[in-house]
Structure 1
């Protein structure tokens, strides 16, 4: 059985999204894919295509790059939702020059209000070198704070490394 809230963390191309998709599918419920990415170039389009091709007809996709609250609040307990991913959502917030603390508070409240089991995927960006420019450093810091807030809200927190889950908090179903 899915936890009410699961936080899946990992590096780029670590297998975290695939692992999160399989976690949702293990519920045998009607999964929702809440996609936060914006297709800005061909590279992003190729990554989105890989994700789309992996999902079958069981999935319903909702595309929402900024305001996740209405979608999360509209779901029922029979519609587990995969939010993929918090990193793109944060990037979108930064590009929109949003108040990041307020946006994070609103996201956390929407997750609390969500009646459906939720799984949110995010990138771990703090294991590398210190970025050499102000925007990248601000993003890294904001991503770290967002990850802390999401992990605190989740019943289950998993770090995926090379496709392998490492439980940080809670227990796997």
Structure 2
């Protein structure tokens, strides 16, 4: 089953993903996409790491998300977060490579339909249109990626203020 969890920053998306993965009662592979380019981000990553059970397998995948999904063990796979991965891809020297990475991600997800997949992504399209070209592309690409994932997903949940709202699928 593929579950997509969307929401804004600090909305409770990751907490919900962790709760659902723990409740699955299966081995969990946690795929982290963040990179610590500064001390503040390193502290965020450390806080997220401390929130996860130590027996979960962690795979660091700032760029090759499709490869990490293919390599993850059977059971429950959590990806946190798709918009950080998107940022990493768009900041590469060849931002056009994102199209291939996106296609590879969708194919890897389709190939793992027998596992429980929980994807965390920010909903960035609820605010104003950004001024810069790269920022506008990021918002556009995030929106299109979230739409494609929502079509593929069995369940889509929007989280605001820690409260989940089921957009697709049957509420638990």
The bucket for the TM-score relative to the shorter chain is: over 0.9
Worse-matched range after superposition: 68-77 or 103-112: 68-77
Aligned to 2:52: 55
Question: Deviation string for 1:138-164 (max 9, x for gaps)?
Answer: 111111111111111110000010111
The count of residues paired between Structure 1 and Structure 2 equals: 169
CA RMSD of aligned residues (A): 1.3
Write out per-residue CA displacement over residues 73-110 of structure 1, whole angstroms, 9 at most, x where no aligned residue.
Answer: 23454x20100000011011101124333221110110
- Which shifted more, 95-104 or 108-117? 95-104
Aligned to 1:99, the other structure's residue is in SS state helix
Q: Give CA-to-partner distance per residue, 1:11-66, whole Å, 9 cap, x none.
A: 00101001111011111111111001111111211111111111122311110111
* SS of aligned partner of 1:81: strand
Contact 1:24–1:31 under 8 Å retained in 2: yes
TM-score when scaled to structure 2? 0.93
Q: CA–CA distance in 1 between the matches of 2:47 and 2:67?
A: 27
* 2:29 paired residue among 32, 39, 44: 32
Q: Distance in 1 between matches of 2:51 and 2:72?
A: 23
Q: Where do 5+ consecutive residues of structure 2 fail to align?
A: none
Q: Deviations over 1:112-166 (max 9, x none)?
A: 1124211010000011111111111111111111111111111000001011100
Within the alignment, does 1:104 sit opposite 2:78 as a pair?
Answer: no
Taking the aligned partners of 2:165 and 2:78, their CA distance within structure 1 comes to: 19
Q: Per the alignment, do residues 98 and 64 of structure 1 end up closer, same or farther by CA in structure 2, a change over 3 Å counting?
A: farther
Match of 1:172 in 2: 171
Contact 1:35 1:64 in 2 (8 A): yes
Aligned equivalent of 1:134 = 133
**More deviation, 68-77/127-136:** 68-77
Contact 1:76-1:116 at 8 Å conserved across structures: no
Residue of structure 1 aligned with 2:3, choices 2, 6, 20: 6
